[in-house]
Amino acid sequence: MQMKNRFLVFLFCVSLSFGKILHAQSLEPIALTDAWKAQIEKLAPAKTTFPTKKKHKVLLFSLFTGFNHWVVPHTAAVVEILGEKSGAFEVVSSNDIAMFEKNNLKQFDAVVLNNNCSINPRRDLFYDKLSENKSLSEAETTAKAKELEENLLSFVKKGGGLMALHGGIVMQNKSMEFSEMMGGSFDYHPKQQPLKVQLADPGNPLLQAFDGKGFTHVDEAYMFNVAYSKQDFHPLLYLNTSEIQGLKGENPEAKKYISWIKRYGKGRVFYASPSHNAQSYTEHPALLKYLLDGMQYVVGDVKVDDSPIGTSGQ
């Protein structure tokens, strides 16, 4: 009887754990409320990790024309709170592509791209938005879209900072120039699932938020292509390929990098795929510190090893 009871307890525990896993794989969207923002305010770092000589002005761009990530307003709130609480950043939020005119961009120290998914198959957010203006011809729309993209490329190349979060990498996804700047383009992702995020360079100062340990959260495992194959970046976070369910075809790479830093001309770029779900910010407050540290990197407050690994990092 005692053995039977132990077995029943074991089955209950297994069932409970399995139920939690199933629930974790299907996180429901949560509303952006004052209470949620207050929670982020409480969890956010009180000050920057690295000294800063001035208050940096940052453009937070949250426009999307393609897939609507429900986390967009939450991520915008996170960036705004990080800037305000630390006192290190003046965050200007906009969904207006006119902000990418040269005269508008030059007032900023950095740009943050927040889940700016564009429409498939063209994958050109500037074109998507400009095409709404029926007074423009196809040639004018294409030319203007290219001009705005080149303004962003030039902004970074000349020393501006760029942070892209999750779907921000999809903004100009078919552009080789944008892919070269970002370090890759979005390819696809399997279903949401618990992902074990690992530290690629534990000694890097930008990873000190995690105290030398990875973390597990529910997310989309973004896969990348185009410039990603060159690995012209310095990786910070990765996933073990063998632990990801639903990958397409064979994946000879043991690691899939999901966050990195890189230089582009005189500028600095920080990309972070986490997170698709706002729950990750509250369940793993280290992400808040990580993003704040990333913001400091792109504006030049901290010098860290950002040397590219190239194909030797495979």
- Domains belonging to the chain, first-starting first, are 34-313 (3.40.50.880)
> What does pLDDT average to in each consecutive run of 10 residues of the chain (314 residues)?
42 38 64 98 98 96 97 98 98 98 98 98 97 97 98 98 98 98 97 97 97 97 96 98 91 91 98 95 97 98 95 44
**Predicted pLDDT at 25:** 57
In whole angstroms, give the CA distance from residue 43 to residue 82. 10
**Predicted pLDDT at 26:** 56
**Predicted pLDDT at 250:** 73
**Predicted pLDDT at 15:** 36
DSSP state of 188: E
In whole angstroms, give the CA distance from residue 149 to residue 172. 8
**Predicted pLDDT at 275:** 85
**Predicted pLDDT at 252:** 74
Entry pTM? 0.90
DSSP state of 237: E
The tokens describing 68, both together, are 């609507």
